[in-house]
Amino acid sequence: EEEEEEEDVVVVVVVEVEAVVVEVGADDDDEEEDYNEGEGTTEEAGSSKKKKKRKKKKKKKKKAAPVDASQPHKKAHGRCLNPESFTDSYLLSGQTDPPSIPVADLFEEGSFPLGEVTAHPLSINKFRESDAEKRARDRMQSGIHDKVRHASEVHRTVRKYAQSFVEPGIKLIDMCTRIEDMNRKLVVENGLGRGIGFPTGCSINHVAAHYTPNTGDDTVLGYDDVMKIDFGTQIDGRIVDCAWTVSFNPKFDPLLNAVKEATDTGIATAGIDVRLCDVGEAVQEVMESYEVELDGKTYPVKCIRNLNGHSIGPYQIHAGKSVPIVKGGDTTKMEEDEMYAIETFGTTGRGYIVEDLECSHYMKNFHAPHVPLRLPSAKKLLSHINKTFGTLAFCRRWLEREDGGSFTVNGKKGKQLKYMGALKNLCDNGIIQPYPPLCDVKGSYTAQYEHTILMRPTCKEIVSRGDDY
């Protein structure tokens, strides 16, 4: 009897062990099985060990269609640009990405791309398109027009390049340096013959214009910033002045759209024999029909009434005529063969700017008087400015470059040292004019769009127009 009891105990232990083995070796499907005592239970447990786990077949991911690197496909980081435009659209003209070929090597002389061509407004101008005399006069100016188109194509390429890398987190001084270096490369900088028209403006938020970082300024672009990028290109003194606004937060879209539409309205209204005040009235009507909601509060979009568009002359960015962006003002008419920068500024602030912050922009007065200078350092600096910039605008960063602003003119020996006292002396004597940043009230946001237009005898050409804006 004792032996039988011991055998029973052994059997029980074996069954329990076998049951544990079965649970460990069970399939992942958690199927319940009944186990019986004796040989049948042992056989089922043994067979379960032989079962193998089923491996799920991984679905193969479909590979994305390969991108044709020779076709435009990159989008800008900023908002409110034409949704159908690409930052690398210059590939279609044979340019590389990033751009490295001078624009003059991509087009034959006289064949640079035309801007947007439209008829002059007013019924008295209808004869211009077909009039033989006006067409002959237009052909006489073809050499000048081609230089302006050349500069415009450089500007379009450089700004497309800028749109590809301007995003939150970039240092403004690095951004400006990259834009200006590309500008010099594509236009093939050659002193006063070809180069940058004026320093790259990157005014942020309540600062509306005339701000570019000085050396040591480590300002970084943020997601909630509204930045105006304004730079120019010149060939033989023919300056193309064009600007747009960069923002990343969609809450600023109404502000940008208001200013963009107002600029387009100003361009459409402008023309030969149109009064400057009429352009301002049309701009204001469109601009102030918009409003923008920021953080639960609604702000009307206002024109900055003391900022204007302007006529452009050879080596003269402000040639005398101002194009207002509010009603009233100058009744002077636009004339044939003139060149204008039509620009509008909108703001959520008071609509009036004042000079503030540290100055970075300077320019020699176009009609500067001859003043005998006593300081040798002032004489030296003025000589450098005359041969490097002439009457074109410049900034302090350029004076501190190894080439002093132009490698063609100065080589690597153009850097100006301890020049601030000399620069102040030139400003005090009326030879150099400082242009400090122009600011609305703090906490407000400003936006800008700008294009350059030619008043050709037969038509109006928006030379800086691109597929981006």
**In what helix (H) or strand (E) does residue 44 lie, and over which residues does it extend?**
helix 39-50
Residue carrying the six token digits 């204001």: 284
Give residue 29's identity as a one-letter amino acid code: D
CA 320 to chain centre: 28
Beta bridge partners of 117: 461
Contact 78, 67 (CB under 8 A): no
CA 412 to chain centre: 30
Angle between helices 420-428 and 376-388 (to 10 degrees): 80
Contact 71, 95 (CB under 8 A): no
Residues written for the chain? 469
Beta bridge partners of 230: 201, 243
Angle between helices 172-187 and 142-165 (to 10 degrees): 140
| b (16+ CB within 10 A) / e for 208-245 | bbbbbbeeeeeeebeeebbbbbbbbbbbbbbbbbbbbb
Q: Catalogue the active-site residues.
A: 230, 241, 310, 318, 343, 450
Contact 200, 158 (CB under 8 A): no
The CA radius of gyration of the chain, in Å to the nearest whole number, is 34
Contact 152, 312 (CB under 8 A): no
Q: How far apart are CA 69 and CA 83, in angstroms?
A: 20
If we measure between CA atoms, which residue out of 243, 242, 176, 169 comes closest to residue 214? Answer: 176
Contact 272, 336 (CB under 8 A): yes
**In what helix (H) or strand (E) does residue 172 lie, and over which residues does it extend?**
helix 172-187
Give residue 73's identity as a one-letter amino acid code: H
Q: How far apart are CA 114 and CA 116, in angstroms?
A: 7
SS3 273: coil
Residue carrying the six token digits 């490698």: 407
